Amino acid sequence: MSRTRTQVGIVGAGPAGLTLGHLLHVEGIDTVILEDRSREHVEARVRAGVLEQGTVDLLVETGAGERLRREGLVHHGIELQFAGERHRIPLSDLTGGRSIVIYGQTEVVKDLIRLRLDSGRPLHFEVADVSVHDLETQAPLIRYRHEGRDEELECDAIAGCDGFHGICRPSIPAGVLSEFSREYPFGWLGILAAVAPSNEELVYAHHERGFALLSLRSPELGRLYVQCRPDEDLAEWPDERIWEELHTRLGLEGWTLAEGPILERGVTGMRSYVCEPMRYGRLFLAGDAAHIVPPTGAKGLNLALHDVRLLAEAFVEWFRTGRTAGLDAYSDTCLRRVWRAEHFSWWMTRMLHRAEDEDAFDLKLQLSQLRYVTTSPAAAASLAENYVGLENV
């Protein structure tokens, strides 16, 4: 058994853990990042790809946005499709010039891993049996196995950035957390396809057969989704069926969806979840470890980065001055933005998907809501400011 020390022990090398490690490194604070999967696995996971302006600014301002600035695609609007027509929401016009950037989460993760390795600070992949201890003391501890050895890492604080299925949240004693959640009776079947996107902007389509989304990763790579069952068996979806469903749901007169070889495919369930508070003693939860949103609002990654920005600022204050004001406010401050994003993501999801338990009344309400947000500048502005990311929430 070997024992080492660090200031902040970070569990999980997803966007939250890697960004926190990066922000603290820039401030000269010592961290160890522990990840149970391999580097190859983490760098190959295809996830969402819409970055809010604030997310982009954070990465660029702290030196992690060099490739993002070069390769990210700036978008000034999105389109909503329903009843056979497309309607543009001019995001930038409605939000005083703010925009979003299309850049895969996978690419953000690759950039952050490279920076971390260059910094020389520890990032261990393929660790096993990670557990957290003594959380209510001044010397919390992480135990894990790495390269066949048992390790103990003594910390001043621990950041639980290990996602929804991680071990940090379940290590908090029963009765401390309040949990809030909603399951949706559908999922998304997503594909990455080697084809130039058939539309310049994202298209969110409401269709009687279910939701579909046209997105992209680059001028040569399309990212598309169709609503499916949450437990959908991919074996029932040969390529032809996927394209046929996409054509039906996204189709418009005078417009054709271009097809290309499918490079990757997967099914994601949809869930809303929040735990409160996001702290127990010296364990601080960030990102998916504390909250999940359905992907319809494109908020998951953005929320995770907002959490760790606040957490990094609070740690800097604490290590420099001993003051705990930032750490004490961390959970409440994060949760204000988390709940705004929870509402927005739930609202977008309900407006765009068809559920089996819904009737003709629900359908009429959805169509009325879609018409309202695409015709009333006030309603469109509300969607737009949430989509690009609200300031001061």
**In whole angstroms, how large is the CA radius of gyration of the chain?**
21
Residue 50 binds which entry of ligand PHB, ligand APR, none, CB below 5-8 Å type-dependent:
ligand PHB
Q: Which is nearer to ligand PHB, 79 or 276 (CB)?
A: 79
Shortest distance, position 251 Cβ to ligand APR, whole Å: 28
Please provide the DSSP assignment of 200-257 as one string.
SS-EEE--TT--EEEEEEETTEEEEEEEE-TT--GGG--HHHHHHHHHHHH-BTTB-P
Residue 223 binds which entry of ligand APR, ligand PHB, none, CB below 5-8 Å type-dependent:
ligand PHB
DSSP 8-state code for residue 296: G
Continuous segment of H or E residues that includes residue 309: helix 300-321
Residue 42 binds which entry of ligand APR, ligand PHB, none, CB below 5-8 Å type-dependent:
ligand APR
Shortest distance, position 357 Cβ to ligand APR, whole Å: 26
**What's the Cα-to-Cα distance from 226 to each of 191, 203, 234, 245, 315, rounded to whole Å?**
9, 12, 12, 7, 41
Residue nearest to ligand PHB (CB): 215
Neighbouring residues of 353: CB distance < 8 A, sequence distance ≥ 6: 184, 186, 210, 211, 227, 296
Determine the Cα–Cα distance for residues 105 and 201; give it in Å rounded to an integer. Answer: 18
Determine the Cα–Cα distance for residues 322 and 27; give it in Å rounded to an integer. Answer: 15
Residue nearest to ligand APR (CB): 300
Q: With beta carbons less than 8 A apart as the criterion, state whether 274 and 179 touch.
A: yes
Q: Which is nearer to ligand PHB, 75 or 282 (CB)?
A: 75
Q: Which is nearer to ligand PHB, 67 or 124 (CB)?
A: 67
Q: Which is nearer to ligand APR, 32 or 380 (CB)?
A: 32
Residue 187 binds which entry of ligand PHB, ligand APR, none, CB below 5-8 Å type-dependent:
none
Determine the Cα–Cα distance for residues 116 and 136; give it in Å rounded to an integer. Answer: 29
In the block, which residue shows the tokens 């400011």?
385
Identified catalytic residue from 22, 207, 299, 353: 299
In the block, which residue shows the tokens 């601080």?
284
Q: Which is nearer to ligand APR, 16 or 351 (CB)?
A: 16
**Which runs of consecutive H residues, i.e. helices, occur in 103-194?**
105-119
Residue 11 binds which entry of ligand PHB, ligand APR, none, CB below 5-8 Å type-dependent:
ligand APR
Whether residue 306 lies in the annotated active site: no
Whether residue 76 lies in the annotated active site: no
Shortest distance, position 308 Cβ to ligand PHB, whole Å: 21
Residue 158 binds which entry of ligand APR, ligand PHB, none, CB below 5-8 Å type-dependent:
none
Shortest distance, position 333 Cβ to ligand PHB, whole Å: 25
Phi, psi of 123 (to 5 degrees): -140, 110
Q: In terms of C-beta density within 10 A (0-12 exposed, 13-18 middle, 19 or more buried), how is residue 92 classed?
A: middle
Determine the Cα–Cα distance for residues 21 and 112; give it in Å rounded to an integer. Answer: 9
Name the amino acid, one letter, at 342. E
Shortest distance, position 290 Cβ to ligand PHB, whole Å: 20
Identified catalytic residue from 15, 22, 25, 75: 75
Residue 245 binds which entry of ligand PHB, ligand APR, none, CB below 5-8 Å type-dependent:
none
Q: Which is nearer to ligand APR, 77 or 300 (CB)?
A: 300
Interface contacts to ligand PHB, rule CB under 6 A: 48-50, 202, 215, 223, 295-296, 298
Identified catalytic residue from 144, 204, 280, 330: 204
Interface contacts to ligand APR, rule CB under 6 A: 11-17, 34-37, 42, 47-48, 105, 130, 161-163, 166-167, 287-289, 300-301, 304
Identified catalytic residue from 140, 197, 294, 295: 295
Q: Which is nearer to ligand APR, 156 or 162 (CB)?
A: 162
Whether residue 387 lies in the annotated active site: yes
Determine the Cα–Cα distance for residues 26 and 58; give it in Å rounded to an integer. Answer: 12
Q: Which residues have a catalytic role annotated? A: 75, 204, 295, 299, 387
